[in-house]
């Protein structure tokens, strides 16, 4: 079983559209994250939720809205997509938000905005 799974794996869409990326973890972890990796290959944290509560919001445009219906799921909804949103988005989870624990990453969703 995949520990952290994201869907879809690839997403091609036009500018101005609204899209969602789903993430699920079956590890029983309390904390989930979204990261963005742009064309320059830098990984940047976007959001983190701990027990369904937002604890990190890294100056991400409000077109990006994470939603956590339960602690096993953290979905990312993006409104009014722009060309600059093209990137690979990674979901991750960790047992808790404190130091000393490892994070497990999904395989990524490659978003292409045309």
In terms of residues, how long is the chain?
Answer: 114
Interface segment toward other proteins; rule CB under 8 A; list 18-26, 63-71, 73-81, 99-107: 99-107
Nearer to other proteins, 64 or 105 (CB): 105
Question: Strand 10-13 and strand 109-113: pairing?
Answer: parallel
One of 42, 62, 70, 83 touching other proteins (CB under 8 A): 42
Q: If we measure between CA atoms, which residue out of 18, 25, 27 comes closest to residue 90?
A: 25
Q: Which residues inside 44-73 make contact with other proteins, applying CB under 8 A?
A: 44-45, 48, 56
- Give the x-and-dash track for 5-24 against other proteins (CB under 8 A): --------------------
One of 20, 43, 61, 80 touching other proteins (CB under 8 A): 43
# residues contacting other proteins (CB under 8 A): 26
Q: For the stretch 61-81, what's the b/e string if a residue is b when 16 or more beta carbons lie within 10 angstroms of its beta carbon?
A: eeebebebeebbbbbbebeeb
CB-based contacts of 78, cutoff 8 Å, min separation 6: 18, 19, 20, 21, 63, 64, 65, 85, 111
Residue 108 makes contact with other proteins by CB under 8 A: yes
* DSSP letter (8 states) at residue 7: E
Chain positions contacting other proteins, by CB under 8 A: 4, 31, 35, 41-45, 48, 56, 90, 92, 94, 96-108
């Amino acid at each position: 079983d995949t520990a952290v799974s994201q869907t879809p794996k690839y997403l091609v869409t036009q500018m101005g559209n609204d899209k969602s990326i789903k993430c699920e973890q079956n590890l029983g972890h309390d904390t989930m994250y979204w990261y963005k990796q742009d064309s320059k290959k830098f990984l940047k944290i976007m959001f983190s939720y701990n027990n369904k509560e937002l604890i990190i919001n890294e100056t991400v445009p409000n077109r990006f809205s994470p939603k956590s219906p339960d602690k096993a799921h953290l979905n990312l909804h993006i409104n009014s997509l722009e060309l600059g949103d093209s990137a690979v988005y990674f979901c991750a989870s960790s047992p808790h938000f404190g130091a000393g624990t490892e994070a497990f990453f999904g395989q990524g969703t490659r978003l292409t905005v045309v």
